[in-house]
Amino acid sequence: MSEYATLVRRETDKSIESFIADFQKIGEVSGYIIHNEDSMEMANTFGKHGLDVLEGFDLHMLQLCNPEKASASLQKNPERAALVPKFVTIFSQNGKTQIRMLRLHSEMIQELVQDKEFAVATDKNYDVIVDLLDRALLV
């Protein structure tokens, strides 16, 4: 394990749409929203730019946001903004739905923005998001 980041990996038999719906419902209870719901399906996004997409390409990139936390945090220190978006990628592979999230560790966050309070809070935020992912797998 790197001291700077970990790739969170989950897998489910649920369809992509079913997992996203469950994750969205569970996340909303904890104050999280999918910020880019209208553009998370990358085949559509690439298609809008005139790019060809292979048949069956089903990558979804969800941008998570807790507006209440983000608002307070970014007003306190706008430099945090580069590290605030949390992306969860979801795609099909080998007949299963795959879930991935890059989790930055507090050491890396502290090194990048020299903001210990933010590093600790972000580490806890990642814990919450991983818990939400795991709970969405069980619904």
11 phi and psi, to 5 degrees?
Answer: -145, 145
The distance of Cα 32 from the centroid of its chain, to the nearest Å, equals 10
pLDDT at residue 1 is higher than 70: no
pLDDT of residue 78: 93
CA distance 49 to 7: 29
Q: How far is CA 85 from CA 37, 66, 70, 79, 126, in A?
A: 14, 9, 9, 13, 11
Among 119, 86, 84, CA closest to 4:
119
pLDDT of residue 43: 87
Range of the domain at 39: 5-138
Q: Any idea what the Cα angle at residue 35 is, between residues 65 and 45, rounded to 5°?
A: 140
pLDDT of residue 2: 64
Among 30, 139, 1, 19, CA closest to 88:
19
Could you read off the pLDDT of 8-31 as tens digits, one per residue? Answer: 999 999 999 999 999 999 999 999
pLDDT of residue 38: 78
> How many domains does the chain fold into?
1
Would the pTM count as exceeding 0.85? yes
Residue 129, domain CATH? 3.30.310.70
Could you read off the pLDDT of 50-101 as tens digits, one per residue? Answer: 999 888 899 999 999 999 999 999 999 999 999 988 999 999 999 999 999 9
